[in-house]
Amino acid sequence: MRIGELAKRTGASVRSLRYYEEQRLLRSDRSPSGQRLYAESDVDRILLVRRLFAAGLSSRIIAELLPCVDRPSWETAHEAWRRLVEERERLDAHIAELVRTRDSLDEVIAENREHVAAFASAASRG
């Protein structure tokens, strides 16, 4: 199938598909006229790649995981599991930092409200 059909069937833009190919997440053959041609199995591959992107993984990490899809074995499955757990731990640390940042902002907001209340009280006294 050509790139437009793959885009339509997966919901990915043509530009994204070209990017995936550039990042070695997707391979294509070429027609005699140079058009990209994809296999039926590439539909599932793109759906997986998009799911991994949606989970916050980078193209570099996704490329590290794809051997598990391309050559399934205990070794590739174990390596994919290890890498996914590592990414989850990285996300957990990032979430914890975001929560700390939000809590700090809540403190600043509360202090601001106290100052606004003090100004309002002083202004009403006159």
The DSSP code sequence of 72-83 is: --HHHHHHHHHH
The reported pLDDT for the residue numbered 45 is: 97
Alpha helix (H) ranges present in 11-73? 14-22, 41-54, 59-70
Residue 123 has pLDDT above 90, yes or no: no
pLDDT at residue 122 in the model: 85
pTM: 0.75
How far apart, in whole angstroms, are the C-alpha atoms of residue 115 and residue 14?
53
What is the rounded average pLDDT of the residues 31-58? 95
pLDDT at 121: 87
SS3 content of the chain, % helix, strand, coil (to 5): 75, 5, 20
Q: Which two tokens stand for residue 55?
A: 């989970």
What is the percent of the chain where pLDDT is above 90? 86
